[in-house]
Amino acid sequence: MKSYQAISIKDCGEALVAIPQDTFILETPHPYKKLGAPYEGISPYVLRESVLKGLQQAQNELQKWQPGWQIKVFDAYRPIAVQQFMVDYTFKSLCQQYPNQSESAIAQQVSQFWAQPSNDPNTPPPHSTGAAIDITLVNEKGETLNLGGAIDEISPRSYPDFYQDATGKSEQIYHQRRELLRHIMFSADFRQHPKEWWHFSLGDQLWAWLKSQETSNSNIVAYYGRV
């Protein structure tokens, strides 16, 4: 996963804009603010302009498949300080949960799911670009759907295709919902984190790296860097 950070960035300079609450459902209260993450007055529910337009396209596609369903936004923009806070918080939580594991083993687990909070403008964490978003689905009754694992869960269950070979009815439903989520986001040119069913990006280094793998085009660059 580290190879994506070798992708060049040519920031297009788009502004961050608010995710409209009348269009999307936002996780309330915000999960990281609730933990004390240092946003310092900055909203986590902002995205680059074109990324927000893409999210709207994805929601329009969702309506074709499941009328009345909506995208629920768990998290979007993260300042570097918030990324550092969450990496530290996750590490400490896992150390308490698994006291018999070595700290190095736990740090390796954390690094698989949480990008390093780098201040290097050439290697920004995806969420610090305003081009990455964590989402799930809500049905026509306003119920947050079960997709077979919690957002931010550090476990193989978080892998997007974890349930693809499942034979149980519930597990098959989880896979169908994950496939629907992936379909609507891909229809708007987002790409999915290989180890997180909930994480999608458009225009950042990870997106460019995944696109380059699909097309064998080594000239694809990211057009969103750190904000």
Residues involved in catalysis: 196
Consult the annotation and say whether 134 binds a ligand: yes
120 annotated as ligand-binding = no
User: CB count, 10 Å around CB of 116?
Assistant: 14
Q: Could you give the 3-state DSSP secondary structure of residue 34?
A: helix
Report the distance separating Cα 150 and Cα 197, nearest Å: 10
Q: Would the annotation count 175 as a binding residue?
A: no
Name the DSSP class of 145. Answer: P
| List of residues 6+ apart from 1 with CB closer than 8 A | 112, 194, 195
The residue ranges of DSSP E strands in 60-214, in sequence order, are 70-75, 132-138, 191-192, 199-201
Residue type, 98: Y
- Annotated binding residues for Zn(2+), written as ranges, equal 127, 134, 199
Instruction: Provide the annotated binding site.
Output: 127, 134, 199
